[in-house]
């Protein structure tokens, strides 16, 4: 369900999609998704930055970004 939200016009829906996917996917799946996503003709910077933060921020920063996403409800995003 989260993938189709990544291209929604509303930013809160896109971030809700990131939240759902971060909860459901492991790192290799998220990396694959990120590569696929930026290869699309239309993509949104907020999606790219949240996925990038979750995947590549080092140490406590990466853990903090993922923890922040996990505290949000997809409806609150």
pLDDT surpassing 80 at residue 63: yes
Share of the chain above pLDDT 70, in %: 94
Structural contact between residues 15 and 6, judged by C-beta atoms closer than 8 angstroms: no
pLDDT surpassing 90 at residue 40: yes
Structural contact between residues 27 and 12, judged by C-beta atoms closer than 8 angstroms: no
Q: How far is it, in rounded angstroms, from Cα 60 to Cα 31?
A: 19
Predicted TM-score of the model (pTM): 0.84
Beta-carbon count within 10 A of 31 CB = 14
Residue range 43-57, pLDDT digits in tens: 999 999 999 998 999
In eight-state DSSP terms, residue 65 is H
18 or 73: whose pLDDT is higher?
A: 18
Cα–Cα separations (whole angstroms), residue 42 to 14, 27, 39, 58, 69? 13, 23, 8, 28, 24
């Amino acid at each position: 369900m989260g993938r189709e939200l990544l291209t929604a016009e509303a930013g809160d829906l896109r971030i809700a999609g990131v939240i759902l996917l971060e909860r459901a996917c492991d790192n290799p799946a998220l990396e694959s998704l990120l590569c696929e996503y930026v290869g699309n003709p239309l993509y949104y910077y907020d999606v790219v930055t949240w996925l990038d933060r979750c995947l590549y921020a080092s140490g406590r920063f990466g853990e903090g970004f993922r923890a922040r996403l996990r505290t949000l409800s997809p409806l609150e995003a």
